[in-house]
Structure 1
Amino acid sequence: MGILVADIRSADSRIVYVNNTFEAITGYSRKEAIGKNCRYLQGSDRLQPEIDVIRAALETGEAAQVRLRNYRKDGSLFWNDLHLVPIVDAAGAPTHYAGFIRDVSEGVATASRLEQMTHTDQLTGCLNRDGFVAKLSSWPASSRVLLVKLDIARFHEINGGYGYDLGDALLRATTQRLETLGAELVGRVGNDQFALAFAIGSDADVAETLERLTRSLGSRFALPGADLRVRFGIGFVTGSPGADPMTLARQAGAALADSKATPLRRPCEFVAEREVQAHNRLKMTSELQRALSADEFVYHYQPQVNLANGRIVGAEALIRWEHPLFGLQQPGRFMGVAEETGLILDIGAMGLREVARFASGFNRNRAEAVCFSFNVSSIELTHRDMVAFARRVIDETGVDPTCLTLELTESLLAEDSSEMLSIFQGLRELGIGLSIDDFGTGYSSLRYLERFPLTEIKIDRSFVSGLPHSAAKRVIVEAVIRLGSELGVRVVGEGVEQQTERDMLAEMGCSLVQGYLFSPPLPADAFSAIAV
């Protein structure tokens, strides 16, 4: 360990003693060192904050320990761990300081290499996720940042079609382009996802930066074995990282999700309302999970009436949520979140069992059975074995399957896959009916009526409403009713609210109707009371 002793009684704390190790570390001989101000080892590198620590220790006569950048006689840098200890006289006043120096350059270099490895993406050479967040955390609080997140559209298909070597080459080429844009930080923060941080001053800077970014990424990528034009999703947010850079990163990620949802993946800016919506979705998800456990979902039944005799021959089961604080909630309040989170699978399973159980009990000992219809989402048909599940429900509840109809959306039929056709055929073999709900509002095709084993068509209320006053609606509705009759498919007019609508449907030959003119959806006991 190198040792020097400085006399602090002199105005500039001159060195009065050094040992051999000091000479070996610094390259300065004893003769060259003695008499010099001890600051000479820092050369012109005087802006180190540790020097202020040394100055304060000398002024107060206390010990100090710091790490400094020092320079040898040949000008080479070395890192020096310096421990200063005061030497006092008989009165206890410091007269000299002994400095113990240790060359820690190798340790500092090793730590730097480890940090570099820890914070660097090995494939592209830019920052990895941890490195990007660490650098963003030290962003000056007063400086505004444009944070951009982007990803490569259909990257998994590039890997699958061209191979992982070309996928890796695309990632490296993307990094090279991003590093030419003048960003303070460039990071690969996911498999095919990148982040950039730009120091900006005005909104004009934001627009100009995004223009340069999209222009740079818009040209073709000439890669080994392929020449590709690649589309990128781009999300961005502006602000100050402050003490929580992850907030900005999360917001840029939300904007990227918006960009990916657009057909051309246009750049999207983070909108604060999205964060509120995300929070509400999380809260709603938790509430729905609790509601399932607490058995808070119930079904109301809207009668379907035979116009020929006025008798109730069917009913549509409509879900409601009996919230303990907010009362009865309509499905529009919660079913969207249920589908987004997959909770629709649990809610739908509970619902079909409940409706089948009610139908079984309701029709017991009735001379003329009432048919109950139940709405099924596309997620339920594609994420569970619907035929096997329906069979279990029939076995568990004892319901006559001919008294159950599953209402399907037109988007399901638009898929027109052999797998979907097989599911529908399996359900029909069980005896369960199949209905197109809201016919005419989505991807309507007469091919559905020929290809799929449907038993019912429901004319959407948008066609029924104002029917007497619209010649176009009359032509469409009459054509659907005639088709249903020719194909042996029941036709139900939905949303009937006016007597004139009811009369016109009857005149056209529509025998089954549903709507507030006859009854709103009713709780199970109230429905049982009127459907005698």
Structure 2
Amino acid sequence: MHDRKRWRFRSARAEQPAIPPEAIALGFENSSDGVLIADMAARGHPIIHVNRAFETLTGYSAAEAIGKNCRYLQGSDRLQPEIADIRKALEEGRAASVTLRNYRRDGTMFRNALRLLPVRDRAGNATHCVGLIRDVTHEAGVDRLTGLLDRYGLLDRIAAANVPAASKLLLIKVDILRFHDVNIGFGYDLGDALLRATAARLATLPAIAISRVATDTFALALSVEDDDCANACVSDVLDLLRPPYVLPAASIVVQFAAGYAIDAHDVDPLQLARQAGAGLQRSKAEPTHPPHSFAVSDERDARNRIRLGSELQNARLNQELVLHYQPQFDLTSGKIVGAEALLRWDHGSFGIQPPARFIGIAEDTGAILEIGAWGLRTLATYAATVNRGRSEPIRFAFNVSVLEFMQRDMVQFVERVLAEAGCRPQWLTLELTENLMVGQPEYIRRVFGDLRQLGVGISIDDFGTGYSSLRYLEKFPISEIKIDRSFVHDVANSAAKRVIVEAVVKLGAALDIRVLAEGIETEAERGMMQALGCSFGQGYLFATPMEELDLHRLLDREFVIREGWDARRFLAMMDGSENRDR
């Protein structure tokens, strides 16, 4: 019975008409999937035929593809584990299905769902191989811009990872610092090109998974033997990303922050990703952005940040905000000529918090507008008090957030604050970072011009540390440049730093812009700044930030800096004299 059924089936198929070769060719050429045929009998398994969809998908014409081994589509990205699966399948003459990274003729990456099907002769030998290519870059779990996995694809891949029993799973997160400046300063097209170039470098690593998990954040999962190997892997990743990026119309050097976490088997992928993210936040928070491994304290700090964000809303109402002042000196006469007002939060539980601890939170929550307004009003009132009756007025500087310029009429607001406090515009300088001038240059130039007409100073803080341009000095009505402490530190032993500082000083003199060096901590740095022509400075060599009462005392006693004598010793001496007088 069963034999009769099988016979009838074979007979029925035998009676069907043969499919014309023209119909097969028509289907081949009009398939929506790319199709290639490779000759397995020839050396190197060259491609002998491709269809139109292959040409459209890869950007390579048939003439360019024929004769090549299909591995040319991977370019230099040859460390993908799927390639070993393909090689083994070809050696064994069996079918295979993998998803791997391929590259079009223009260099852009696409994720290729590849099926390999062997074609056998009557003896069972594989004579040819048919490859079916499908672009799955835009499918779920894949980042559309770079072709890497997205956040969900990363978590799925980690959950399915087959990590050897003697190894551990390492997750690294890297973040492009100041990526917003690249987008605004050079354009979103170049920003996208930078993301693709970063992805292409990361794709050369032998990772379990590589993904773009946020706008400018990438993550890699790797198998490592121990913690020492993890540290070496992180260093290798950062070394790979460090060289300049040559992009259309620009060549830029990019700095990265990095955080990582390592764990044994059966780890929760989401928890591991969260831990690596906590390490990344620590890296971003430090001035030099060194890579950080996850620590248990990171979770506590994250909870504290959430708490700070909530409590920051009431900081002004609870009178917890204060200003401390760091004097600025004439390096030749040693006299105090100004002071930078530095915002502090006197938190009931955490104590005095510096700006780096809460300004970012304030900007994220929108509290920065209220805090900034309080700071400017308080400073204007204090400046009016200090300068009442002074023959040589003290100029006070205050750092203003980019968001304040974007979300309020700064000219009208400053004019109103000055009038209410009885403060002359010449006593006030607004300090801003370079990235403010990148976003909307025409609007910012107009606002700066109006503020300068009022008489208010405009100072550029940390000059030279961002994606800056000397054209800022030409385009914008700036009254002061603050040389960043990174150029001041150990300047006596760095010829390059001396050249940079001297150039900035000469530019300032030529453009009638005051130049002030910040972060002076040694007599050698002070002497070199003077020798290079810088007239003004501030730093721990002279005075640390202090309460307004201490600044009043320095000004009343006409404190002058001299070698081996700083404000702290002077105030301590005054305290001793007053105690003896009592």
1:453 CA drift (Å): 0.2
1:235 corresponding residue in structure 2:
151
Pairing 1:303–2:219 present: no
Q: Which of 489, 514, 518 is equivalent to 2:513? A: 489
Query: Partner of 1:444: helix, strand, or coil?
Result: coil
Separation of aligned partners in 2, 1:388 and 1:401: 13
Amino acid at match of 1:423: V
The unaligned stretches of length 5 or more in structure 2 are 1-97, 102-109, 114-133, 139-143, 160-210, 222-259, 261-268, 279-298, 557-582
Name the structure 2 match of 1:499: 523
Out of 388, 400, 410, the residue aligned to residue 364 of structure 1 is 388
Alignment partner, residue 542 of structure 2: 518
- Matched with 1:272 is 274
Q: Does 1:355 align with 2:271?
A: no
Partner residue, 2:427: 403
Q: Distance in 2 between matches of 1:403 and 1:383?
A: 24
Q: What's the counterpart of residue 136 of structure 1?
A: none
**In the alignment, which residue of structure 1 is the partner of 2:213?**
259
How far 1:265 sits from its partner (Å)?
10
Q: CA deviation at 1:292?
A: 2.3
**Cα displacement (A) at 1:379:** 1.0
The 8 Å contact of residues 461 and 495 in structure 1, kept in 2 or not, is answered as yes
- Residues 1:460 and 2:484 aligned together: yes
Bigger Cα Rg:
1
Contact 1:339 1:379 in 2 (8 A): yes
One-letter identity of the residue aligned with 1:261:
T
Q: 1:421 aligns with which of 445, 450, 461?
A: 445
Deviations for 1:102-159, whole angstroms, at most 9, x for unmatched residues? xxxxxxxxxxxxxxxxxxxxxxxxxxxxxxxxxxxxxxxxxxxxxxxxxxxxxxxxxx
1:478 corresponds to which letter in structure 2? Answer: E
Residues 483 and 264 of structure 1, relative CA distance in 2, 3 Å threshold = same
Q: 1:384: how far off? A: 1.3
Mapped to 2, the partners of 1:497 and 1:505 lie a distance apart of 12
Distance in 1, Cα, partners of 2:330 & 2:415: 29
State how far apart, in whole Å, the 2-side matches of 1:382 and 1:361 are.
Answer: 30
Is the Cα contact below 8 Å between 1:285 and 1:337 reproduced in 2? Answer: yes
What is the rounded CA distance, in whole Å, between the counterparts of 1:500 and 1:517 in structure 2? 10
Structure 1 Cα separation of the partners of residues 313 and 458 of structure 2? 29
Return the letter of the residue paired with 1:522: M
Instruction: Report whether the alignment pairs 1:436 with 2:390.
Output: no
The answer to whether the 8 Å contact 1:218/1:231 transfers is no
| Match for residue 445 of structure 1 among 451, 465, 469 | 469
Whole-angstrom distance in 2 between the partners of 1:210 and 1:430: 61
The aligned amino acid for 1:412 is L
d(CA) in 1 for partners of 2:359, 2:350? 16
Q: CA deviation at 1:390?
A: 0.8
Question: What is the aligned partner in structure 2 of residue 374 from structure 1?
Answer: 398
Matched residue type, 2:216? T
- Any unmatched runs of 5+ in structure 1? 1-207, 222-228, 241-256
Q: Distance in 2 between matches of 1:381 and 1:465?
A: 31
Displacement of 1:386 after TM fit? 1.1
Helix, strand or coil at the partner of 1:313: strand
Instruction: Give the CA deviation at 1:214.
Output: 6.1
Distance 1:492 1:283, change over 3 A: same
Tell me how far 1:391 sits from its aligned partner.
1.3
Cα 1:266–1:365 change in 2 (3 A) is: same
- Structure-2 change in CA distance of 1:258 and 1:294 (3 Å): farther
TM-score by length of 1: 0.52
Q: In structure 2, how many angstroms separate the alpha carbons of the residues matched to 1:467 and 1:272?
A: 40
- The structure-2 alpha-carbon separation of the partners of 1:474 and 1:280, relative to structure 1 and needing over 3 Å to count, comes to same
Give the SS at the match of 1:310. Answer: coil
* Distance of 1:261 and 1:220 partners within structure 2: 17
> Partners of 1:476 and 1:259 in 2: how far apart?
38
Deviations 1:31-69 (A, max 9, x none): xxxxxxxxxxxxxxxxxxxxxxxxxxxxxxxxxxxxxxx
Contact 1:259-1:266 within 8 A present in 2 as well = no
Residues 494, 210 of structure 1: CA spacing in aligned structure 2 closer, same or farther, 3 A cutoff? same
Amino acid at match of 1:329: Q
1:258-293 CA-to-partner distances (Å, cap 9, x unmatched) read 723227899996423358476443312112113222
Matches within 5 A, 1:22-171: none
State how far apart, in whole Å, the 2-side matches of 1:259 and 1:405 are: 40
C-alpha separation in 2, matches of 1:297 and 1:491: 30
How is 1:475-486 mapped onto 2 (pairs within 5 angstroms)? 475-486=499-510
Q: What is the identity, as a one-letter code, of the residue corresponding to 1:260?
A: A
The residue number in structure 2 matching 1:323 is: 347
Please tell me the residue identity of whatever aligns with 2:214: K
Partner of 2:190: none
Distance 1:218 1:383 in 2: 44
Distance 1:414 1:491 in 2: 21
Alignment partner, residue 363 of structure 2: 339
Deviation at 1:294, TM superposition (A): 0.5
Q: Which residue of 1 aligns with 2:170?
A: none
Q: Is the 8 A contact 2:326 2:544 kept in 1?
A: yes
Q: 1:264 to 1:422 in 2, by over 3 A?
A: farther
Separation in 2 of the partners of 1:494 and 1:218? 54
Structure 1, residues 399-440: CA drift from partner, whole Å, max 9, x if none? 111110011101112335211111111211221100110111
Amino acid at match of 1:234: D
2:100 and 2:551 map into 1 onto residues whose CA distance is: 60
Distance 1:289 1:215, change over 3 A: farther
Cα gap change, 1:508 to 1:220, in 2 (>3 Å):
closer
Amino acid at match of 2:215: A
User: Which letter maps to 2:391?
Assistant: A
Tell me the number of residue pairs that the alignment of Structure 1 and Structure 2 aligns.
304
Q: Secondary structure at the match of 1:290?
A: coil
What letter corresponds to residue 474 of structure 1 in structure 2?
A: R
Cα separation, partners in 2 of 1:496 and 1:519, compared to 1, 3 Å? same
Q: Which amino acid aligns with 2:552?
A: S
**Alpha-carbon RMSD:** 3.2
Note if contact 1:305-1:313 (Cα within 8 Å) is conserved in structure 2.
yes
- The reply to whether residue 314 of structure 1 matches residue 338 of structure 2 is yes
Name the TM-score, length of structure 2 as normaliser: 0.48
- What CA deviation, in whole Å up to 9, does each residue of 1:280-331 have, x standing for no partner? 4331211211322202111111111012211101110111111122221111
Relative to structure 1, the CA distance from residue 261 to residue 361 in structure 2 (aligned partners, 3 Å threshold; closer, same or farther) is: same
